[in-house]
A and B are shown apart, each in its own frame.
Chain A
């Protein structure tokens, strides 16, 4: 199972919006709505930010939103804040009854 494809890095200024893409295949993102996004700060465990394509767990800011079209999922962060600087990973359930992650995207807040 190949990793989902994410851009290696994105950046934005405070207050701006950024979008991170996550491209899979018909065997994962394209078939299942079991797509999630995780935020990881250096040296810390990942944190669930989005599940089931668009849903935010309790406590996650509504500045985080997500969507999916075909084989590509996207995470948008609006009103960028310094604390958003982190690595972001998408994940999907797959036709092989396994899970696959994206390669990760480093977000830099300028």
Chain B
């Protein structure tokens, strides 16, 4: 069965960097894009970007350009999201989510459990 499992909660200081992992299993890893979505406390969902695990190509939301980097390790079926220059407004639950269909789709059907990131001095 398809599973998407994220790394655990983190506490970071302002200005630091964050790296969250998302390990996939139960399907052909390279052919399903992975998206990252975050949710600040009590707020809505915000799309951050996506990675094509096959070639490693990425697409980032404009508001995160220059601060976010998504990578993958095909040998372990794991995707990573790194966010730099953290500020308090980055405190949120970060989710990875798989595309519903292969080779690029428009919906997210399998979600990780979420990773709570707290940015505080």
**Size of interface on A: residues with Cβ below 8 Å to B:** 25
B91-121 contacts to A (CB < 8 Å): 95, 97, 100, 106-109, 111-114
Of the listed stretches A13-21, A44-52, A66-74, A75-83, chain B binds A44-52
A38 to B61 CA separation, bound complex (whole angstroms): 20
**CB-defined contacts of A104 to chain B, threshold 8 Å:** 43-45
CB contacts (< 8 Å) of A32 on chain B: these are 106
Q: B109 contacts which of A57, A91, A96 (Cβ < 8 Å)?
A: A57
Given contacts A45-B112, A46-B111, contact A100 B106 (CB under 8 A): no
- Chain A, 25-77, CB within 8 A of any chain B CB: 32, 34, 36, 38, 45-48, 51-52, 57
Which residues from chain A contact B107 at a C-beta distance below 8 Å? 34, 36, 48, 51-52, 91
CB under 8 Å from chain A, chain B span 33-92: 35, 37, 43-47, 59, 61-62
Q: Determine if A48 and B108 form an interchain contact, defined as CB atoms under 8 angstroms apart.
A: yes
A9 contacts the other chain (CB 8 A): no
Given A45-B95, A89-B44; A51-B62 close (CB under 8 Å): no
The 3 A-B residue pairs with the shortest CB-CB distance in the complex, in nearest-first order: A34-B106, A45-B111, A51-B107
CB neighbors of B among A93-110 (8 A): 93, 96-104
A3 at the A/B interface (Cβ < 8 Å)?
yes
Q: Could you say which of B43, B59, B61, B109 contacts A48, with CB atoms under 8 Å apart? A: B109
Q: Name A38's contact: one of B35, B45, B59, B62 (CB within 8 Å).
A: B45
Check A51 against B106 for contact (C-beta < 8 Å). Answer: yes
Seed contacts A48-B100, A48-B109, A89-B44; 14 additional CB < 8 Å A-B pairs: A36-B108, A45-B111, A45-B112, A46-B37, A46-B108, A51-B107, A52-B107, A93-B106, A96-B62, A97-B59, A98-B62, A100-B47, A101-B37, A102-B44
A101, B47: Cβ atoms closer than 8 Å: yes
* Also in contact, A99 and B47, with CB within 8 A (given A1-B61, A36-B106, A93-B106): yes
Please report the C-alpha to C-alpha distance between residue A3 and residue B37 in the assembled complex, in whole angstroms. 14
